[in-house]
Structure 1
């Protein structure tokens, strides 16, 4: 897919460019980003360059991951990164993807990641035909969970031993979001298992 640009009231979501390498490198010096994401640690300028100039364009072209740089409309300051992952599952009958994100430390607490998530979710459901979005994070990552909840995800439980980290395996929280949760139509009807009271 050709990369797209999305906008919100306060943000521009666009593919990273070479001009963003220094900002991405600086943001990923925050130990929480490699701690809770797949970002290498230590994160070098070369890691940032490869991510921005090679991995992101290749992933868009291969329809494997759609990564947006999240920038403020006022001054184009880097607020974070947001991706739709596992896009191979967008093909019928799965039509599902995973939402992943990180937020630059100095931009946290302003609601930027939730705002960006709402727009990427809208795009995923309306334009890409996604029928199920998943989110997961290491159990205990309250900040990521808070964003997911504010974006509308419903928590589904804990995946045991899901995340390999530093020679260990960690549990993960998982949540999902369906178009019907937001009052949006879906191509395939959803037949939930009847709950017993």
Structure 2
């Protein structure tokens, strides 16, 4: 799968590169990220290296994931977050995202999720995008709902977090449900 950059309004989604490793490490130390994202604890620089090199770059090359850094369209050095798909090879994607603390509460996550979903439907030809989050992750749920996802259910004990099973909210979006508002 060819790597692409997506521009939507005042944000740009670009593929990860080696230079993102220190930033991934710093954001992954944030308590809110660690609370809801399945990360090794303690989180080490080697974990950030693995994420960027294997889960972002190599997985893009083998077609199992499409991972992006969210940054201002105007360029510069700011990185606002991460958004990506796990791809099942059968026309569905599972979306995931987290934001740098400096970018939270500004609509960046919603704009990035919408842009990624539009790309997934229009370029990848996905027929379904699924969102899952641990019950209680209200920030992720707000982003998903604002982006156009329908929250469908609570799946009991569906996610594993810190070695234990937890309930998950699950939602989905079909191509016809993508909001017409850009970004």
RMSD over aligned Cα atoms: 1.6
Say whether residues 1:100 and 2:96 are aligned partners.
yes
Cα distance change of structure 1 residues 72 and 42 upon mapping to structure 2, 3 Å threshold: farther
Indicate the structure whose relative CO is greater, using CA pairs within 8 Å and at least 6 residues apart.
2
Moved over 3 A (4+): none
Secondary structure of the residue that 1:22 maps to in structure 2?
helix
Counterpart check, 1:25 vs 2:20:
no
Aligned position for 1:49: 49
Larger radius of gyration: 1
Residue 140 of structure 2 is aligned to residue 139 of structure 1: no
Deviation at 1:183, TM superposition (A): 7.6
Partner of 2:16: 16
Structure 2 residues without counterparts, runs of 5 or longer: none
Q: Distance in 2 between matches of 1:169 and 1:103?
A: 24
Comparing 175-184 and 9-18, the one that deviates more: 175-184
Q: Partners in 2 of 1:54 and 1:183 — Cα distance?
A: 32
Q: Deviations over 1:127-153 (max 9, x none)?
A: 111111110100010000000001000
Structure 2 match to 1:180:
176
User: Is the 1:63–1:88 contact (alpha carbons within 8 Å) kept by the matching residues of 2?
Assistant: no
Cα drift, residue 182 of structure 1:
3.0
**Residue 147 of structure 2: aligned partner:** 151
Cα contact 2:38–2:161 (8 A) shared by 1: no
**Would you say the 8 A contact 1:16–1:68 is kept in 2?**
yes
Q: TM-score, length-normalised on structure 1? A: 0.85
Q: CA separation of 1:143/1:183 partners in 2, compared to 1, >3 Å: closer, same or farther? A: closer
TM-score, scaled relative to structure 2:
0.91
Residues 117 and 178, structure 2, Cα contact 8 Å, conserved in 1: no
C-alpha change, 1:136 and 1:143, in structure 2 (3 Å) is: same
